[in-house]
Amino acid sequence: MSDNFSEKVPLGRTGLMVSRLGIGSSYGVPERACLKAFEKGVNYFFWGSVRTRGMGAALRQIARRDRDDLVFVLQCYARKPKWIRRSIERGLKKARMDTADILLLGWHDHAPNEAIIETALRLKEEGKFRYLGISGHQRPLFQRFIEDGTFDVFHMRYNAAHRGAEREIFPYLPAEDAPGIVSFTNTRWGDLLKAKNMPDGESPITAADCYRFSLSNDHVQVAITGPKNEKEMDDALSILDTSPLSEDESKRLRRIGDHVHGVRSLMSTFG
């Protein structure tokens, strides 16, 4: 893995060359921010559960002139075969593209049934997408996905407070021909950024710190950011000029992550 986050890397066995930072659409990232990110080398665009106008407009512009440099990820939450086809075809039409680079079957905490897989593979044969991905929150399930080999890309939760993937997923990845790994909720829904959640004597960490934490793990190729505005996009883009965390930085973020996980778990229990 490169020591410079500005350099693109292969996304697992797909061979797709991807930016270390990816952009999710769900929080309303504006068109201008998307275009700025692409000009700075960000090419992993995740059109997720909320296919927002801003990213849609940016995707159409980028695809007209630089389609080969774009990695377009189309997410589908549908659980019925006919709805899956409808969702994908609508998404492609809205983006004005013939094919997606990755179809992501979204939020599966149980293995998708045979009908879902058959439908997805049929759509792949029809050229609707190139590689099949899946996301979920039940980490042990990914061990089954690794053994099965159906999925080329995994989107998974990984951050300084939620590091279970280091025990339950990463050790099971093969040394060669492994699926691509993309991390989401890198800031733990913002909990890792709040001063009130910090241990005594610790200053808050930044969103850029959170993305660097995820990307400092050699198994993670892309960290997804979900900016709401251009300022948040600029903050996230700052990681492109950085490198992996030092040992001291990593220890600090892990210490903060453990504290935040404990605080938030306690609040969930008694709040």
Q: Where are the alpha helices (DSSP H) in 113-226?
A: 114-125, 139-148, 165-168, 207-215
Containing structural domain, residue 196:
9-270
Decide if 52 contacts 59 (C-beta within 8 A).
Answer: no
Residue 1, domain member (yes or no): no
pLDDT band at 269 (very low <50, low <70, confident <90, very high): very low
Tokens of 244: 């992996």
- What is the CB neighbour count within 10 angstroms for residue 197? 22
pLDDT, residue 264, reads 54
CA distance 167 to 162: 11
Q: pLDDT digit string (tens) for 141-157?
A: 999 999 999 999 999 99
In-domain check, residue 24:
yes
- Within a domain: 245: yes
The CATH number linked to 27 is 3.20.20.100
Distance CA 44, CA 157 (A): 17
Mean pLDDT of 68-77: 96
Query: Does an H or E element contain 91, and which?
Result: helix 81-95
Does any domain span residue 123?
A: yes
pLDDT tens per residue across span 196-249: 999 999 999 999 999 999 999 999 999 999 999 999 999 999 999 999 999 999
At residue 2, the pLDDT reads 64
% the chain with pLDDT above 90: 89
For residue 52, the model assigns a pLDDT of 83
In this predicted structure, what is the pLDDT of residue 265?
55
Q: Is residue 219 part of a domain?
A: yes
Q: Is residue 4 part of a domain?
A: no
pLDDT tier at 266 (50, 70, 90 boundaries)?
very low
Does 1 score more than 90 pLDDT?
Answer: no
Average pLDDT, the chain: 93
Contact 207, 225 (CB under 8 A): yes
Q: State how many domains the chain has.
A: 1
The CA-atom distances, in angstroms, between 39 and each of 53, 163, 204 are 19, 32, 30
Threshold 0.85, pTM exceeds? yes
Contacts of 171-177 with C-beta under 8 Å, sequence gap 24+, read: 172/142, 172/143, 172/146, 173/146, 173/219, 174/146, 177/13
Is 56 inside any structural domain?
yes
Both tokens assigned to 168: 């339950």
Helix axes 230-237, 207-215, angle to 10 degrees: 40
